[in-house]
Amino acid sequence: MGIKYLHTMVRVKDLDASIAFYELLGLTERRRIENDKGRFTLVFLCPPEQADGHADVELTYNWDGDEGLPSDSRHFGHLAYTVPDIYEMCQNLMDNGVTINRPPRDGHMAFVRSPDNVSIELLQEGEAKAPAEPRASMENTGHW
């Protein structure tokens, strides 16, 4: 009997802000479930080329709130995505108000956090880009 990866679930406090953040990363909404009885919404997002659900992030929004969010609990680690141009992605995120917690000084890896404090690792697809200013001297902000 084999095992198959389904998705990563993340609880969110502000569904619209969280969807907007993941869309900045390039994910698109694949499916949505509104559960009136359970009073929650599930939104599944994935990279467009993986719309078969292979790499879903499930955002779980509890309609009555979740006062524990956003906590700094890191019990599940982080989500990781490769991007075609890490410098371009980080610039786009910064232009949209996202803090780059660990800048891509090495041209290979960066970390950001979602509105719900989820750690997101961004990795340059293929070979690392050459280190370049201003990123090469950017300091870490907070933690990732």
The answer to whether the beta carbons of residues 111 and 144 sit under 8 Å apart is yes
List of long-range contacts for 61-68, beta carbons under 8 Å, 24+ apart: 61/11, 61/12, 61/13, 61/15, 61/18, 62/11, 63/39, 64/39, 65/13, 66/11, 66/13
107: left (phi over 0), alpha (psi -120 to 50) or beta: left
- Examine the residue annotation and report whether 125 is marked as an active-site residue of this protein: no
Which position among 49, 88, 121, 125 bears the catalytic label? 121
How far apart CA 44 and CA 137 sit, in angstroms, is 36
CA 57 vs CA 22, 24, 79: distances in Å: 9, 14, 9
Rounded to 5°, angle at Cα 98 from 96 and 103: 120
Question: Looking at the annotation, which residues are catalytic?
Answer: 121
